Structure formats: C-alpha cells, structure tokens
Structure 1
C-alpha cells in the first residue's frame, strides 16, 4: 500500500503549511492576550453578576486594571505607546468629562491600546465603571505645581503672546479663553476652556508649553511646534497662564 509522504522541510510545498501554522499560532496568542487584558467577552461577566453598588469596581478590577493599574495610575504596561491613562493626574481631571469617558469605553480610542467595549459591556455597566473611576481616582487628582518655569530656560513675553493668541488661538478658544470661539461650534471635543477650575489646577507653564508645541491627541488641537518657534510658544504659554489660568485675583 502506498504510504503518504510529507514534503521535506526545505521544500516549496512545506513553506505555505508552516506559514499557515504560524498565522494560527499568532491568532491564538492574540486572542489569549485580549482575554487576559479584559478585551474579550470572557472578562465582561463580572459586571453582570455583582450588585449595582459594586459593579463599577468589579468591572474595573477584571477589565481595566490590567492596563490602568489597581490604583488607576496607568503604570501596568510600560511599553504601551501612548501609555495607558493615569486617572490620578491633574491632566485627567482637566480633560476627562463623563461623556468623553463613556464614549472612550464604548468605542475605544484610535491610535492607542484602548479597545472598544461597547460589544462586551452594557451601557449601564459602562456608566458604572466610568463613575467608579471618576469617584475613586479622578475626584482625588492632585494639583500641578504652578511655580514651575517654562522649559529650556525660556522666558515668555505676555504682550507678544497676546498678539499670537489672538491670531492663532482665539478662533477656537475664544477671546476670553472660555473655549467658545467662532470655530468651537464645529469642533468635537470642544476646545479647552482655560477658565474652568480643572484647567487652573492642571495648566502650569511647562504643561501649556508642551500642549501648544505637541498638540493634544484625539482633539483638533494641532502641534504648533511645526509653525511657531520655541520663543513664540513660550510667549503664548505665558499669556494664557497669566491671563486665564492664573489671573491676578487667583494669586492673591
């Protein structure tokens, strides 16, 4: 009887078979990682089985903490780029509205490791975990050090910064820095309101310089470092800092 033979390891017919096996292995490993990270349906169950009062905490523990950490500091996966959100930072307190967080959990965040959970979690579960994060981590976020200077020994000129702000920034952020410029109606998420308490807790000079220079991921805030030089960015940062985020009445 004729015995079936397998092609030699080095033959052309063996190569596609090995490639298929590698693809299957890669798919299996990827699926296992998704489940481990809480990105598969298997990890969504705890949110359905726990009492309402504990639901958000349980969902966070089983689905979110693997990347964001048990304490919400986002330090679990150091190689993620961009890193997982640190919910305890002043930046998170300033940026993360409840609506934005619900949207991020439901649909994910493009360009990040944040996956959509809308197919795994009910809307009630998503609201529960968002409220847990806000009450446990964001509500206790710290305040930035407002005494820190601009980077690279730069000194901002508020007068020059005012002119640059009116020319480049006011169309979105508004003349009074309240985020209600003429273009704001067409932008989502809305431009930063510099006069809010959360902005005043977060936006010190180095943070303003960085955001103006690099832009803000997931928003229409562009990287002005491609248009303005460092001194001009320092001037705008100094104007925004003195005029909106730390006006004289706050410094008394």
Structure 2
C-alpha cells in the first residue's frame, strides 16, 4: 500500500517542520526549544511600520548566515518561498519578496521567530537562537528581501566548487521555471532538450521539481544527485572534516550491510576525490536479501518508498536527509541503537511516531499488514528483532 496524495502531504508536512531547527545543527547553543516556552503573543492586524534601517555589516552577515543555515529550506534562498518544501505546506511559507516592510512590523516578526506561529510549519527558535541572532536574521530578511528585494547569496561560485557554472546555462530556464520540465520533448528546441536532460540528471535535486504544467505525483523521495562537499566519515572516507585538506585515509573495499545477519558485502564506489556525492549514494543502496519471503519483499518495497528517505536505503540513516536531522534517525543496523528493540516497541514507533524527533506517526497511512511487513523486512535486512519470525 502506498500513501495517498493527501496522506503524503500530511506526513511529509510533519517531516518538514524539524528541518527548520535541525537541518544542519545549531549555530549557537544546542537542542530544541524548551517544552515550557511561553506561547506566542496574539497576532493583531498589521500596523504602520517605521522605515527599515539597514543592519550594520556584521549584523547583516550574521543574519544572512542564519537565514541560509535555517530558513531557506522553506522560505527560499531569496525569500520568495519558491521551494519544494513550500509546495507541501499549508498554509505556505511567507513570500518575503512580495511583503512590504510596512505590512509586517518588526516586532511581530521577532515574536513569530521567537515563539513560532500556531497552525503553520513555522516553529519558534527560542532556546535555539540567541535574542541577538533572532534580531539579526529578522533585520536581514526585512532589509534584503522586503525592502531591497535583493538576490541572496549565490551558491554556484568557484569557492563552493562550481567554477565556470555558466557552461550549464542550457539548464537555467528549467531551474528558473521559465520552461516547464514536463514540456513535451518535441516542443523543445535542440538546446532546450539538452538543457532538460542536464536539469533532470543533475540539477533537479537541489532545484526541486522546477515548474510543471501537470504536478502529477506530489513526491518522489529518491535523489538523482547529491551535494559535493559533505562526506560520511564512518566507513568510506578519504578526508574527515577534522583533518587538514590533502590528508588521505584508507578506504575499505567493502561495506557490509546488517552485519548481525551476515548480509552480502557490497562493493563501495571509489571516490574521485575527498569531497564527492557518492558518500550519500552508497547509503542509498538497499541490501540484497536472498530468498526473501513475500512479506519481506512487501516490507522492502514499503521501506524503500517511505522510510529510506530518512533512514537511508541501507538502514544506516547516513543518507542525504538523515544526516541533517537532529536527533538523527535511528541507525537500524546498529547493535547499540537496536539494543533492546522488540517487535512491540518497533510497531508502536512506526504507528504512533516518536515525539521530539522527526519520526511521524504512520498509522493513518499504512495498514496493519503494511507495518507487519516493514517489521519483517527490518528484522531480516538490518537487525534481528526478537518476536519476529526468522529472527
């Protein structure tokens, strides 16, 4: 059973909220906002706001760093809320580029950033950001997007590993949304066809799904490309982040999935350099199970379609998304993290979700038999679970 459109939106909407606070850790302090944080003040009709005073240089750049670190995922790099996440949230995140400063007082923005906004995906950052950081990011948004409507930090620079990015300009119309990516091939020029192929093979992961004439299926969780500069250091690294550039470390030839079950080792792709996307790609590959039962095969399909988005295809949670979530999703292959796991506990975690984490409740999406199939697959593929047949 696959989640329906409305169910997908509901579950994925809940999944997206933690990204605001957990996408890349914390800039200052750590952990979630205190459970006893005071409620957000009542929101009243906007009042006339004073003209925006440009923040000082240091404050402006602090606000930019915080925004690029935490807010862009829903609000967009340039504050226009043109992101994939925004398409799954109701109400949609605010488009700051079309909101004049006079329509949204600074005091209200500070309150919402601090305490969140009820009924939306906007969570409060009290206890995560300091008051100074909240002021800095608020003033940055008001100056950069609302007052000046400026383009934010460019990502495709030489410093970020993108020399001569203009060579990819045939794909730009699809990234900008000038051309819908579901435009029939026969209606595209030869250059546009080249641009579409390039966009679909490399750009689409970070540029979301672009513009389409027919939205169709609302979510496809499998990335087609990965960022270049993050690296998994647990089992197949060349240069850990803590080491100076140029210091190489041996890379094991194989990585064994679910060692507790003696699964077949899988050959690792060899990296071209110390910063490659294949680190995530390795964990995107599911283990190969010999003589899987019908229930386990069903569980594999459900897991790879629904759970691998956060837990990775190999169950380690070391994929692209899992590496950003805090707390990290459970490593289903870890003897330590799976110690004491029972069939009943796993069933409850899947059905009810886990408060304080990104694990949502699936009981309204998956049938009882689907959860049973997932448990059978997890027990066979990743770590044996007492009480599950064959474990």
Global fold match (TM > 0.5): no
What's the TM-score, normalizing by structure 2?
0.25
What's the TM-score, normalizing by structure 1?
0.38
